[in-house]
Amino acid sequence: MIDRSFIGRSFPPLHVDVEAGQLRAFARATGQRDPIYWDEEAAKAAGYRALPAPLTFLFTLDQEREDRFYFINAMGIELGHVLHGEQAFTYGAPICAGDRVTLTCTCMDIYDKKGGAMEFVILKTQATNQLGEDLGGMTGTIVVRDPK
Residues that bind other proteins in the complex, under the rule CB under 8 A: 22, 25-26, 28-36, 42, 45-47, 52, 54-56, 59-64, 68-69, 79-91, 94, 147
Please enumerate in sequence order all residues whose Cβ is within 8 A of that of 114, keeping only pairs 6 or more positions apart, or say none.
none
Largest CA distance in the chain: 55
User: Where does residue 127 rank: exposed (0-12), middle (13-18), buried (19+ CB within 10 A)?
Assistant: buried
Q: What is the CA radius of gyration of the chain?
A: 17
Closest CB 95 distance from other proteins, rounded Å = 10
Given the complex with other proteins, which of 5 and 116 has the nearer CB atom?
A: 116
Given the complex with other proteins, which of 53 and 107 has the nearer CB atom?
A: 53
Closest CB 83 distance from other proteins, rounded Å = 7
Answer yes or no: are the C-beta atoms of 138 and 59 closer than 8 Å: yes
Closest CB 5 distance from other proteins, rounded Å = 25
Given the complex with other proteins, which of 4 and 14 has the nearer CB atom?
A: 14
Closest CB 14 distance from other proteins, rounded Å = 12
Answer yes or no: are the C-beta atoms of 33 and 93 closer than 8 Å: no
